[in-house]
Structure formats: C-alpha cells, structure tokens
Amino acid sequence: MEDNQLLRYSRQIMLPQIDIAGQQKLLDSRVLIIGLGGLGSPAALYLCAAGVGQLALNDFDNVDLSNLQRQVLHNSAAIGLPKVESAQKQLHELNPETQIIALNRRFEPDELLEQVELADIVLDCSDNFTTRFAVNAACVQTSTALVSGAVIRFEGQLAVFTPGLNDSPCYNCLYSKNGEQEESCARNGIVAPLPGIVGSMQALEAIKWLLNIGRSPVGKLQIFDALNSEWHRLTLRRDPACPSCGP
C-alpha cells in the first residue's frame, strides 16, 4: 500500500478490526450496486470513500429534477445524463483510486448472472420487485451475498442474505412474486434523508461482510420507523418450498 493510500484511509486503518490487512481486502474487492437512486447514491459514495477497489454500477435511467431531493450522488448539472455517467464522474472526483465500471443498460439474465458472479457482494438498491427477484435469483445461483434495501414514505427496510451459508433465507423467502402490491416513491412519496440512512447501512453491511468483522444481520429483517426513530428486527426463516432457494 502506497503512502497516499495510508494517509487517505488512515482513520479506517487505525481501527483494530480493519488495520492494513483489512484495508487491502477492500482495495482488492469488487462490489456490484444495482440502482443509483436514493439508496445507491449513499451506498456508492461510502464504498468509494472507504476504498473498495472496484465498483460496478448498474442503472439504465437518466437523472431527473425530481430525483435530486434524495439522490445525493447527482446534481443539477447532471439532469438528463445517464445516472451511471453522473455517478462515475462524482465518484472519480471523490476517490480516483476506485475503478468505476459503468453499466448503463438493462441486464439480460445471462449478463446479470455474469456480473453477480464477478462481484464479492451485491447491493440491491433498486426500486421494483422485478429487479429484486432477478437479482436475488442470480445471487442464489452463484452463492453471492446480497444486501437488500428498500424505502418508502417514512419507512426503511434492510436485510442481508447469504445463499448457501448458515441456512440463510433469500429475498424470495421473504416476498412472494404474487405477494403485496408494489409501491413507489413517485406515487407514495418519501422523506429526503431516509434513503441516506438505509443506503449507508447497506454500505456498512457490505464492508463488514467483505472484512468478515462484526455480526451481519443474516436472517433478519430490520425495519426503520423514521417518524419515531425506532428500529425493529424480525427473524426470517428459510422457506423449504421457496422457488428460488428451495430444493
């Protein structure tokens, strides 16, 4: 590790749980982030700042004025640009040492599987069930850890899934494809700082997983009530009849 890296990451390196060896692990890691909106923005910013070596960013949407209330990775000058292009520019200015792979397209199943397999961990920061189920299926097939986040109105959710380890459930164990009706920020609204809280937690859980430190909330659904500043935790169990991770 070079002198400028030792200085840049010094506040992390001084943590005994990380040290130089842990920082080197981050520099050698690749994280795939699906979605560069409210959740993907803080997640990408903190993983880049923390020194993750490669960030693969997937989104096929353009920056819109209505995004800027909560999608802090983008700014007014980026309106109309692809989100991956806006993100790549901002993240490079934050930390030019992190390699940013911009993937400005809707993945076909084979490409999604390929990108998930290349990653050490995946962050699902998308905003629709179709993408979430597809990402989950690819993570199950490749035994890749998945950090899932969701936000709406004043409520956030966070879960970590580790397919093939510790009898972990998967996203499909939690939500059925024929389950609840999907809600969106465009129809239901969202308070600005909430995605920042959950997206930052996704980044934190990814770093913990990459470094194998602390306790990951595998098999737990963490729900944040922003109006009352309360976290609730529910225990999830693997569904033996799950169409994704079942036999």
Pair type for strands 155-161 and 220-225 = antiparallel
- The packing angle between helices 40-50 and 83-94, to 10°, is 30
- DSSP per residue, 112-177: HHHHHHH-SEEEE--SSHHHHHHHHHHHHHHT-EEEEEEEEBTEEEEEEE-TTSTT---HHHHS-T
Q: Are 145 and 160 in contact (CB under 8 A)?
A: yes
125 carries an active-site annotation: no
Per the DSSP assignment, residues forming a β-bridge with 138 are: none
Name the active-site residue from 48, 125, 139, 185.
185
Tell which residue, 247, 177, 202, has the closest CA to residue 41: 202
Question: Which residues are identified as catalytic?
Answer: 185
